[in-house]
Structure 1
């Protein structure tokens, strides 16, 4: 050991800490054997020093792993570029060894927590041999559960572990247990904003929207800029029509309320998201390699193809290219480019196997073989430097009811599509080649429908008969149900009438995709869109050459895994589409691809980046003709007879034509139900009805309805208690805006009925309404 070195100085400090004179050779020699007489603490102190060293090393490894874990979750590289370990990019393969080394040296609750977070995100399922020598399936969520449990044994009051364990339980469908864990997190740390917001989310998922408000409000009071808490509070307040905090200031004297904060949040998140994947093209390879891969995948035989693609990609290789100022999202463009290459490769495979003009065969042709292609139709890979992109906290479904601009709506949908694409295409189960195309129709076209709503759900109410109506001489119909049966009559009807009904609720995305490929599906229909329960990852894997969206989501998918959206010109006007803008203005950016305009562009003149198949009148399917043929209950007929003494129904139906008799029967039916529902309501009163969920209503629309009531004195407004907590807020708003005469009772003439009347369930009684007043968007 060199005198004056750092090691020598450290040795002196250790010796002095042990009570040893460094200049005494005998004391120093005795130290090694623990025989030093100065208290006899040599071994003990050395043991403590070793323990401290292990803890320090463990903390260093934990901190390093956390830095890399944060880097994998961040779509934007730091000021010094992407974080690497000696050139090794941040990834799960790097993180796990760091965490395992850390926990092997010092078992801490924090390390268990971080390992649980990481493991819960790993979708891989493997088989191991347990202590009994039996094979056992193990996945990331099961391992995460073990580490969370171990962490709580080390620290029974660790709020982060309780919160993350709650989220894991919620993902596994154990909502009540999740709420208990969130509650314990809040008990341990009452100002923990994440736990407060998660508790609000879980309570809202139980259907207790009004109860969730208090937890969201507490989270926002702790951290006003916490996106999940802010949006959760606004969504909950809107769901129960409590508009006082959302659209006005906290003092009730005007201003923007919480919605102003949400608007600022959206602007900030969309601006930051534009930097996603900056430098990804350059990091992944030279421009020449990209151009060659694009031309090969797309089969681009144009003479100037190399020059065209070089010009398009050149800006990404220029130093100082300002992506934010140019409103170019490099990562988003790269993902869309890879998806386009996938689709073109699948198309080339079909043409090479069956011929360019082959659209129908007289007999079934053999399926293409993946093994025989020798990787010719390779799936283009996303660069490993492209992490999972962040998405705005405001979800696509909320864009229907939030005051957002066309570009904001477009980008919110687009960013969600990018996240689904990236997270799907980087899964280990995705094969190295694109999925093989189906053989030509022979002669029937195979159509697949994917939905989580083949149960007691509005979509099933509307479409329950559609699947049995298909012409089976021209089509084979496959239904893939991603949720288990609720044993409702809707599910039973759909199952019994569908040609092929497959319950895939317990299947992984990989299994569903492979089944769709095996079923030789030509057209795959997405009946969810961006709604609860959707499994859009199935579509992002591109198992089918033609993929469409229908009914579930009347908005923009803004994805390259949706080829067509079935709609009509009313709900999705052609002039609000990117295709129409391109057709008339012929505007082009480097990141546009013919009529597929880049959603990132600054224009506020269009919303939809999708391509539409327009139905001539309406895209909106309903099952009214089949679903409302029920016979009139005896009790209802009795009520009508006693109440009206024959009034209100057509008299003397003898001699009437068949259609007139049917009309008279319907009038009797309607009048009977009206008497049963509103026994004290005079016959000359008009019933204005709306059976939407209350979150779709806003103050401006509700006040319009109140003005209608004011103009039509003999009328009531009939709404659903959906949720029931909304009734109180609506009646309060009605009294404040229109007064008691309109909001409460029409002094003696209504005999106890509120002018704004709420009901539990419309059901078949929707026939009772005289006029339906619909909402502006996301209508019933």
Structure 2
């Protein structure tokens, strides 16, 4: 075989010497068909094709310079003109395709890359770029074929393997992605990126301990790998591993602001500073190329078309909050479109949502650009992002412009810092006027709480006893059902002092994971508290979880990132809640909810006041009983639990922002006074 190969190569070289370049290229092409991984033959063919088909080097350099300064329209015009004279230049079609891709013309880019591959079937740049163009169009299977073929042709090409692994991960083929990242980590031991991507994939797979290990390896290679540090801190937060997190907290104020951007959500529970939150979100938003604003259209008759976008149209906290809004929307005035990109369709909740919407679309197999295009074809007036920067978010849908007006609502408790998001739904407690500068969006102020609730839920009778839940029959029960990543040493220390001060009391926590349970018990011992006084509640179906709240006496909130759905759940179940209001959106949610529930007296302004109020209520059954009676007796009239009135206020906000757009006015602060509810 080796002799045959060398003989054929010699034949090709003879053709070259005689100036018969096409014949030489044919021989090299045939050889590559037989020996696709022979880099010597591939390089010889590529060099020869460039000699045959490329324009003068100076012209190619001019195109590359224009591309590098982002003058993509000029590149397209010039390359298209050159292609008429140099139709066999795969280099030219590669440059043309790259410029088309930069201007979001994925079909045009695909055609250009296919032209390049028709000339040089094994050109790695064209093959890899074609994968990108196909991926952008949502044709994931074809894109994976391109990346796989390119990786086979060039097994040592790290960039191609990164593309392959990233697309496998985005396609939920995480175990396969993990294997490719592992290959990259072995091949590039001094590169932290493969280790970080392994950590991120392991976290998505629910393998948190391994994610922590890989993030640690990434930081050992490169201590400035900020995304690995943010991931590590967030995962250690889920584990309540205060000791392991402590050394990584130094200088956290600069994390995601100086250096590389990091996921804003990862630091919400660690840094209660809205100014820094805005900087982090600004930095993160710059990762998403933003399409131009949509042109204004003439006024049309008929309902305003609203599109809600989420990965969580299933058994999820956000849907427990908003499902009643969908049911109360005025069908004569609003057309409700739901776009589900979570891939978790099915069940009673999905069926309920489909019945309450004008149109329900399962779009999880479409690309971000395709979803945005579909939304524009549906004629949306307003696109509502229910995810923001939370898990499984897809902000590039909105960067691609799904609608003329785009709103950040409910899912992400903070600013997105993005030029493609116009408004943020809030209330005067969440964002006082003095805080508006910390939010890139214009604020839509609802009159009560920003948070909707489902006032149709019937909490079932619960025949269980306290002892059935591992609780003392007579002792005081403090409940703290927040997610474990929200629990910080500062909050926990106060809780332990309360247990110490209230004899026989226990702390009832939500059971999340084994490491968190072990670490919280360890932390309790460090505070001099018997770990048996920490009781962990297993997961239950939603209504049964609400029912067991009756066994608790007082809910204790976390600080930097408050209870959100958990707060309104507790109040709906009749359980009073004490909070300490902070600075950022996430640290003021429980105050907003309590105010709208008619219990502003349970909002405190300092750690000391929080601790004092919780202790006073635990020691004064009469006072606590009066609060519980007030909560239950006034619940029917409280704004927090009036879903119909809430929906009318939200609709008034939609009308206001839509009217501004129709009138050619820029987004501005909108205040709804509640008159719509009347």
TM-score, with structure 2 as normaliser: 0.62
Task: State yes or no: 1:530 paired with 2:529.
Answer: no
Between the aligned partners of 2:413 and 2:306, the Cα distance in structure 1 is: 21
- Native 8 Å contact 2:476 2:505 kept in 1: yes
CA shift in 2, pair 1:478/1:506, >3 Å: farther
2:429 paired with 1:570: yes
C-alpha distance in 2 between matches for 1:514 and 1:528: 19
Preserved CA contact (<8 Å) 1:524 1:546: yes
Partner of 2:500: 710
Q: Cα–Cα, structure 1 residues 728 and 113, in superposed 2: closer, same or farther, change >3 Å?
A: farther
SS of the residue 1:725 aligns to: helix
Q: 1:398 maps to which residue? A: 266
Q: Alpha carbons of 1:108 and 1:403: their partners in 2 closer, same or farther (altered >3 Å)?
A: farther
Of the candidates 443, 446, 460, which is equivalent to residue 319 of structure 2?
A: 460
Q: Is the 1:687–1:718 Cα contact (8 Å) retained in structure 2?
A: yes
Contact 1:167 1:178 in 2 (8 A): yes
Equivalences for residues 146-185 of structure 1 within 5 A? 146-156=145-155, 160-185=159-184
> What does 1:14-25 correspond to in 2, within 5 Å?
none
- Match of 2:466, SS state, is helix
Check if 1:628 corresponds to 2:628.
no
Task: Judging by fraction of residues, say which structure has more helix.
Answer: 2
- For residues 391 and 497 of structure 2, the distance between their equivalents in structure 1, rounded to whole angstroms, comes to 35
Q: Aligned partners of 1:526, 1:691: CA distance in 2, in Å?
A: 26
Please list, as runs of the form range in 1=range in 2, the aligned pairs for 1:400-549 lying within 5 A after superposition.
400-403=268-271, 405-420=273-288, 422-425=289-292, 434=295, 436-437=297-298, 439-441=300-302, 444-472=303-331, 474-483=332-341, 484-509=343-368, 512-513=371-372, 516-517=375-376, 519-542=378-401, 544-549=403-408
- Displacement of 1:105 in angstroms is 11
Aligned 1:303-452 pairs, distance under 5 A: 392-403=260-271, 405-420=273-288, 422-425=289-292, 434=295, 436-437=297-298, 439-441=300-302, 444-452=303-311
How big is the shift at 1:698?
Answer: 1.5
Query: Judging changes above 3 Å, is the alpha-carbon distance between structure 1 residues 515 and 155 closer, same or farther for their aligned structure 2 residues?
Result: closer
Give yes or no for contact 2:131–2:142 (8 Å, CA) kept in 1. Answer: no
Structure 1 unaligned spans of 5+: 1-30, 34-46, 126-138, 249-256, 270-391, 579-606, 633-668, 747-754
Using a 3 Å threshold, how does the CA distance of structure 1 residues 541 and 772 change in structure 2: closer, same or farther?
Answer: same
* Equivalenced residues, count: 496
Which residues of structure 2 form unaligned runs of 5+? 1-16, 20-40, 80-94, 102-108, 565-678
Aligned position for 2:10: none
Q: In 2, Cα distance between the equivalents of 1:708 and 1:399?
A: 27
Equivalent residue in structure 2 for 1:677, among 442, 446, 469: 469
* Alignment partners' CA distance in 1, 2:404 and 2:467: 54
Distance 1:49 1:724 in 2: 55
Note if 1:757 corresponds to 2:625.
Answer: no
Q: 1:414–1:557: 8 Å Cα contact kept in structure 2?
A: yes
Counterpart in the other structure of 1:244? 243
Structure number with greater Rg is 1
Evaluate the alpha carbon distance shift between residue 215 and residue 86 of structure 1 in structure 2; reply closer, same or farther with a 3 A threshold. same
Structure-2 residue corresponding to 1:775: 558
SS in 2 for 1:700: helix
CA distance in 2 between counterparts of 1:497 and 1:48 reads: 59
Q: Select which of 413, 418, 442 maps to 1:554.
A: 413
SS in 1 for 2:349: helix
- Cα 1:102–1:67 shift into 2, 3 Å: farther
Asked whether the equivalents of residues 548 and 562 of structure 1 are also in contact (C-alpha less than 8 Å), the reply is yes
Provide closer, same or farther for how the CA distance between residues 570 and 85 of structure 1 changes in structure 2, counting only shifts above 3 A: closer
* CA distance in 2 between partners of 1:48 and 1:156 (Å): 14
Separation of aligned partners in 1, 2:118 and 2:373? 40
Determine helix, strand or coil for the equivalent of 1:448.
Answer: strand
CA contact (8 A) 2:338 2:357 kept: no
Q: How does 1:692-711 map to 2 (within 5 A)?
A: 692-711=482-501
Secondary structure of the equivalent of 1:492?
Answer: helix
SS in 2 for 1:268: coil
C-alpha separation in 2, matches of 1:154 and 1:49: 12
Deviation at 1:203, TM superposition (A): 1.0
Q: CA deviation digits over 1:7-49, x for unaligned, max 9?
A: xxxxxxxxxxxxxxxxxxxxxxxx999xxxxxxxxxxxxx999
Please tell me whether the aligned partners of residues 181 and 195 of structure 2 are also in contact (alpha carbons under 8 angstroms).
yes
Distance in 2, matches of 1:543 and 1:629, equals: 38
Q: Is the 8 A contact 1:691 1:762 kept in 2?
A: no
- The equivalent residue for 1:602 is none
Q: SS where residue 148 of structure 2 aligns?
A: helix
Report SS of the residue matched to 2:233.
Answer: helix
After superposition, give the CA deviation of every residue in 1:522-568 in whole Å (9 maximum; x if it has no partner). 44433222223334444445554544332112212334444432212
* Equivalent residue number for residue 738 of structure 1: 527
Offset of residue 615 of structure 1: 2.8
State the distance in 2 between where 1:463 and 1:765 align.
19
Give the drift of 1:726: 1.8
Could you give the per-residue CA deviations for residues 620-640 of structure 1, whole angstroms, max 9, x where no partner exists? Answer: 2222x422344x4xxxxxxxx
- Structure 2 CA distance for aligned equivalents of residues 456 and 242 of structure 1: 29
Within 1, Cα distance between the matches of 2:444 and 2:46? 68
Q: 1:727 to 1:499 in 2, by over 3 A?
A: same
Q: Provide the alpha-carbon RMSD of the alignment.
A: 4.6
Structure 1: how far apart are the matches of 2:314 and 2:46?
59
